[in-house]
Structure 1
Amino acid sequence: TSQILDTSLPHVNRKNATMFVIHFLGDIHQPLYATGILRGGNDIRPVCWRRQPHNGVCTGPMSLHSVWDTQIPHRIRGLPPHVRPSDEKVAAAAWADELYLRQEQAGVNATAGHCVDLDTGACALGWASESNAFVCSHVLKPGLAWLKGNDLSEGYFEENWEVVEEVIGRAGVRLGAWLNAIAERLASEKAPVFEDL
């Protein structure tokens, strides 16, 4: 964030910093990015996602991190386990619109009541702590042996898809508030136009 706000930096540096912040604020809301347990779930493998009915073989092998990062969101949106990036982008845009509408209907917006302390890591630490709590309450709740021995696309999905949707919606609102705060700071300092970043 400090690089985005530093108007003395070259435009390309500030643009890269903007892309990093957007990516980081999304990732910090995914529970497995906020834990060091087995490299954020990347070493919890192999896990089963969608056992084939005709032969009992699972799609994969994959990590628990991949289940939370890709498979659960894909299933929520009705996408197959493997999808073209262009189709994934279209589905993500539609999902973002739906989540935004739900947040708006619930009275949640990106202008008030969100942590936007641009000068410290307090917001990120708070969000990471919140995400980390989901690791125990949801992600690893059944235990490692169970996670490695069962099809996670069934009951595990049913128990966790709403958490995934909730944290993605929350991340979007917080990202909007963060970017609004950056734009307001730049405008108050009469800095060059933010929209190019």
Structure 2
Amino acid sequence: MVIKSWLFSVVLFETFIYVYGWGPAGHSTIVRLAQSQLSDTAPEWILSLTPWHWHGNLSALASWADDILYPNTNPTGYDNWQWSRPLHYINIPDWSCNYNHERDCVGDICVSGAIKNYTKRLETELDDIQQREALYFLIHFVGDIHQPLHTGFASDRGGNDVKGHYMNGTYLTNLHSLWDSGLLTTRLHRDFHSNASLYYDHIYKLMINLPSEDNDNNIEQWIDDNIKIVCEHIYFDENNITMNATANFTLGEVYYNRSISIIEQRLARGGRRLGVLLNQLAKTRPQKSSDQKNKLSSSTIALIVILVVEGILAIAVGIIFFIRYKKRSWEPNSFALSSTKE
């Protein structure tokens, strides 16, 4: 029994690394960047699909699609979401260095297919629960597709099996983990005092200075950008030797310095593209009769209820006073009649 539990933990840990993209800091940064660009009716729409206690802060849900998969973050329901694991990434043949949808995303079961599916669902008149689920998946998957190793080689599971040491660390890490969070953690610690808000300000400046491009809506181009980084940069160590799963790597300052700017450009582009997508969806989504502009707000309803109750109380009080008045008005006459008879 102990051995089975240990094996389960190992498998779960490895899968955990494979599915997670960017880590919470990266995903949150991308969603926060996207929200900074919302216009017209988009902020109101996002607010309507965000739990009230987050006050419209969609970045708080940026890692929801990861959190639902694991017992430590979803102890009572993680089994119900295992079907969504393959939606976080794309596997391509080693060094093919091109994306073929029919070959690499069979049945739309990949991150590209998931983005298209949940975009379509948000354009369809579904109930609020399904709309929320679609939105939370979408914001996460747009983040995933901008992490280059989420369009990685099939044989090493997007760099998870390429292992080694980073910055003279004594423990083994892997290439996927470095690009998810390891390199970002170094950057945050060294230059931003581990302050995520300061780092967000830095990436925001990068985003607003990005040149305008026509491919902000072209998911295939996003994938091609990733694959170019994978094939021309990620797998080459500091001596320009190709890394693979057969030997452990040793990476440090040289690899970090040439990689961190690429990561930050991907975060900035991911934030801008997600913002563009959310603004488009806010305009094209079905305008249901239950939308905020077509229904009474909760405060208005509460006011109406109060006024109705006050009106009923006023009528009741009026009736009571009327009865008492009539009763008093009859009492003298009754006395007079009885006196005459005597």
Q: What TM-score do you get using the length of structure 2 for normalisation?
A: 0.44
Partner in structure 2 of residue 4 of structure 1: 122
Matches within 5 A, 1:22-61: 22-37=139-154, 38-45=156-163, 47-51=164-168, 58-61=169-172
How many residues align? The count is 164
Cα–Cα, structure 1 residues 98 and 30, in superposed 2: closer, same or farther, change >3 Å? same
Partner of 1:83: none
Report the counterpart of residue 156 of structure 1 in structure 2. Answer: 255
Residue 64 of structure 1 is matched in structure 2 by 175
Q: Which has the higher contact order (CA 8 A, sep 6+)?
A: 1
Unaligned runs of 5+ residues in structure 2 are 1-118, 293-342
What is the RMSD of the two structures over their aligned residues, measured on CA atoms?
2.5
Read off the aligned partner of 1:23 and give its amino acid letter: H
3-state secondary structure, aligned to 1:77: helix
What fraction of aligned residue pairs are identical, expressed as a percent?
A: 27
Decide which structure has greater helix share.
2
Query: Quick check: 1:15 aligned with 2:15?
Result: no
The aligned runs of 1:69-88 (5 Å cut-off) are 69-78=180-189
Letter of the 2:180 counterpart? D
Determine if the alignment matches structure 1 residue 133 to structure 2 residue 228. yes
Contact 1:50–1:59 under 8 Å retained in 2: no
Q: Is the 8 A contact 1:4 1:17 kept in 2?
A: yes
Tell me the secondary structure at the aligned position of residue 146 of structure 2: coil
Asked which structure has the greater CA Rg, the reply is 2
Q: How far did 1:49 drift?
A: 1.6
**Which runs of 5 or more residues in structure 1 are unaligned?**
52-57, 80-86, 117-122
Q: State the Cα deviation string for residues 35-77 of structure 1 (Å, max 9, x = none).
A: 23411111112x11221xxxxxx24322110001011111111
Counterpart residue number, 1:190: 287
- After the TM superposition, which of the residue ranges 70-79 and 19-28 deviates more from structure 2? 70-79
CA contact (8 A) 2:215 2:221 kept: no
Q: Specify the SS of the correspondent of 1:35.
A: strand
TM-score of the superposed pair, with normalisation by structure 1: 0.73
Question: Quick one: which of 271, 276, 280 aligns to 1:177?
Answer: 276
